[in-house]
Amino acid sequence: MKKDLWIGGEYRSAASYNELKNPYNLELLAKIGSASQEDVRLAISAAHQAKTMMVEMPAFERAEILEKVARFLRDDLDECARLIAMEAAKPLKAARAEVNRTIMTYTFAAHEARRIHGETVPMDAAPGGQGSLAFTVREPLGVIAAITPFNFPMNLVAHKVGPAIAAGNSVVLKPASQTPLSAYRIAEYFHTAGLPAGALNIVTGSGSKIGEVLKKDDRIKMITFTGSPEVGRYIREHSGLKRVTLELGSNSAVVVDEGVQLNKVIPRIVNGAFAYQGQVCISIQRIFVHESIIDEFTEQFVSETRKLKAGNPLEEDTDISAMITRGDVERTKQWVDEAINNGADLRLGGSAEEGIFQPTVLVNVPLNEKVSCEEVFAPVVHINSFRDFSEAIDLVNDSKYGLQAGIFTNDIHKALQAAKKLEVGGVMINEIPTFRVDQMPYGGVKMSGMGREGIKYAVEEMTELKLISFKTE
Ligand code: NAP
């Protein structure tokens, strides 16, 4: 299979093509067009031309297009899940869950398209304001560049393309090089649903090469980026006056207080730690357990983790499959070995086989080890103890990241203390930090990013507030 670039409502050939391989068995999946800088400029021009059509399209039509895309995804659910499983090595169960979430995301975008509105402003609250009637409207920004990572190739594209189209913008999308197929599939759905040519363009190829053009072109009014903190920061620092939102990484923590029902919380935490090989921005990486229950917790946690089945992502019962690259397997092994050499105890895993890194549990990890303080983005967790709850909060906050945190406790005072003190974008009480539904506000503080997604909140980021004031007297 060969995939060209999607520009101006049609596939256009690229100057060169890169091989896309299945991360699990390294089989060739397709040859993917690699955009030149001129191709990227063409995509921006197409989006720029489609801008007027998008601004003039009524909300109900934008909503209907988004509803149709959700319907096409529902019709092709299994096929889309297989696409994600093959290009991202995401186990089929998780890939299917992602497609279901993507359907929800586009459905929420359709709802949101119908209710974008401003408000009246009480002008007479200030001296001199009497005799003026004023209101705000939300207008689309124009052309938005969306840059997405590999780990939720359909749903994270939906979190950008959905609200952008809902708000009447046009888009140039750069999906991750490892996961272009699901993105091109979405372009085809939008086209069939009646989106005007040029309103959604997709360019694949080198992130840094394409990024250079997107950052510099003044026709692009906003860059919405999801990916690693290093790239996010670089984009932020080189994008001039463009609006930029960044959804970046983290080393998410969960706190388990004494008194909680371990048999109930442990399967949930195992899932939050190892789902999709730990390659989720809110994967659990650090587990802090009250010292009175840490032995029992660790034993049960290891035994629950042993139940996970590693294998081919296309098999129904696979829980864990290959990491995205063999290089990431190597890096993970180095970080785990370093932690062990510096005093951590290995309780499970610690090695890899053919791209699959075994679910790994470490205890007593020095907190300056990379497996604790950097984003490991792999199936690796550590369990450390705490004595009092304030210490647990400090341990969670002792991080350069702040995306989401989870607290399991039966004590309402501790829950409220956590809600107040935790330096994160979302506090999940009696829930894992990995919890997300697609309409909630989602984003981080510190190095985890800036701006919020969750359709309504993304629409706010992707529109400009305009004030209209009438002198009535
Ligand atoms: P990545 O390497 O930063 O890549 C993300 C996207 O940026 C890809 O499309 C990539 O293209 C592109 N890119 C690379 N260099 C660029 C540059 N100089 N300018 C513009 N674009 C550039 O991240 P990843 O490995 O795909 O994803 C993992 C990271 O994403 C983790 O840190 C994870 O925590 C984070 N993440 C965050 C969230 C969230 O919502 N907070 C959600 C999911 C993932 P290429 O693929 O061609 O390099």
**CATH, residue 34:** 3.40.605.10
Nearest ligand 1 atom to alpha carbon 449: 41
Residue with CA closest to ligand 1 atom 14: 207
Nearest ligand 1 atom to alpha carbon 448: 41
Q: How far is the CA of 331 from the centre of ligand 1 (A)?
A: 17
CA dihedral 244, 247, 250, 254 (to 10 degrees): 130
Residue with CA closest to ligand 1 atom 17: 208
Q: Has residue 169 been placed in a domain?
A: yes
Q: Which CATH number fits the domain that encloses residue 378?
A: 3.40.309.10
Domain that holds residue 25: 2-248+448-471
Q: Has residue 241 been placed in a domain?
A: yes
Three-class secondary structure of residue 304 per DSSP: helix
- Identify the helix (H) or strand (E) that includes residue 470: strand 463-471
Nearest ligand 1 atom to alpha carbon 150: 26
Q: How far is the CA of 282 from the centre of ligand 1 (A)?
A: 14
What CA–CA distances, in Å, run from 406 to 238, 419, 426, 430? 34, 10, 9, 7
Cite the beta strand spans of 156-230 per DSSP E. Answer: 170-174, 200-202, 220-226
Per residue in 420-465, pLDDT (tens digit) is: 999 999 999 999 999 999 999 999 999 999 999 999 999 999 999 9
Per residue in 221-269, pLDDT (tens digit) is: 999 999 999 999 999 999 999 999 999 999 999 999 999 999 999 999 9
Residue corresponding to tokens 């009250």: 290
Q: Are residues 37 and 106 in the same domain?
A: yes
Q: How far is the CA of 251 from the centre of ligand 1 (A)?
A: 16
- Catalytic residues, which ones? 247, 281
pLDDT(354) > 90: no
In a mutational test of the pocket of ligand 1, which residue from 16, 248, 375 has the highest number of ligand atoms less than 8 Å from its CB?
248
DSSP letters for 29-69: EEEEEE--HHHHHHHHHHHHHHHHHHHHS-HHHHHHHHHHH
Q: Are residues 208 and 263 in the same domain?
A: no
pTM (predicted TM-score): 0.98
In a mutational test of the pocket of ligand 1, which residue from 32, 90, 148, 150 has the highest number of ligand atoms less than 8 Å from its CB?
150
In a mutational test of the pocket of ligand 1, which residue from 5, 16, 40, 151 has the highest number of ligand atoms less than 8 Å from its CB?
151
pLDDT at 57: 98
Which residues form ligand 1's pocket by a CB distance below 6 Å?
147-151, 156, 174-177, 206-208, 211, 226-228, 231, 234-235, 247-249, 281, 375, 377, 403, 444, 449
Q: Are residues 302 and 214 in the same domain?
A: no
Residue with CA closest to ligand 1 atom 22: 207
Q: Are residues 284 and 136 in the same domain?
A: no
Residue of 46, 47, 54, 100 whose CA lies nearest to 73: 100
Residue with CA closest to ligand 1 atom 37: 248
pLDDT at 76: 98
Q: Helices 77-88 and 92-113, interaxial angle, to 10°?
A: 120
Residue 132 pLDDT class (50, 70, 90 cuts): very high
Q: Are residues 347 and 386 in the same domain?
A: yes
Q: How far is the CA of 436 from the centre of ligand 1 (A)?
A: 19
Number of C-beta neighbours around residue 93 at 10 A: 17
pLDDT at 124: 97
Residue with CA closest to ligand 1 atom 11: 207
Q: Are residues 163 and 269 in the same domain?
A: no
Q: How far is the CA of 214 from the centre of ligand 1 (A)?
A: 15
Q: How far is the CA of 383 from the centre of ligand 1 (A)?
A: 28
Q: How many domains does the chain have?
A: 2
| The two structure tokens encoding residue 386 | 């705490």
Q: Has residue 21 been placed in a domain?
A: yes
Nearest ligand 1 atom to alpha carbon 177: 46
Q: How far is the CA of 173 from the centre of ligand 1 (A)?
A: 13
Q: Are residues 280 and 161 in the same domain?
A: no
Residue corresponding to tokens 């906003």: 222
Once rounded to an integer, what is the mean pLDDT over residues 45-55? 98
Residue with CA closest to ligand 1 atom 48: 207
Q: Has residue 443 been placed in a domain?
A: no
d(CA 190, CA 70): 10
Q: Are residues 222 and 261 in the same domain?
A: no
Q: Has residue 452 been placed in a domain?
A: yes
Once rounded to an integer, what is the mean pLDDT over residues 51-77? 98
Q: Are 219 and 49 in contact (CB under 8 A)?
A: no
Please state, rounded to an integer, the average pLDDT across all residues of the chain.
98
| The two structure tokens encoding residue 217 | 């072109």
Residue of 65, 74, 154, 155 whose CA lies nearest to 110: 65
Q: Are residues 407 and 461 in the same domain?
A: no
Residue with CA closest to ligand 1 atom 12: 207
pLDDT(473) > 90: no
Residue with CA closest to ligand 1 atom 39: 247
Once rounded to an integer, what is the mean pLDDT over residues 339-357? 97
Nearest ligand 1 atom to alpha carbon 205: 47
Q: Are residues 282 and 364 in the same domain?
A: yes
Once rounded to an integer, what is the mean pLDDT over residues 157-166? 99
Percent of the chain topping pLDDT 90: 99
Q: How far is the CA of 176 from the centre of ligand 1 (A)?
A: 7
Nearest ligand 1 atom to alpha carbon 204: 47
Q: Are residues 229 and 308 in the same domain?
A: no
pLDDT at 405: 98
- Identify the helix (H) or strand (E) that includes residue 384: strand 380-386
Q: How far is the CA of 388 from the centre of ligand 1 (A)?
A: 37
Residue with CA closest to ligand 1 atom 26: 149
Q: Are residues 187 and 264 in the same domain?
A: no
pLDDT at 357: 98
Number of C-beta neighbours around residue 319 at 10 A: 21
Residue of 269, 266, 290, 276 whose CA lies nearest to 405: 269
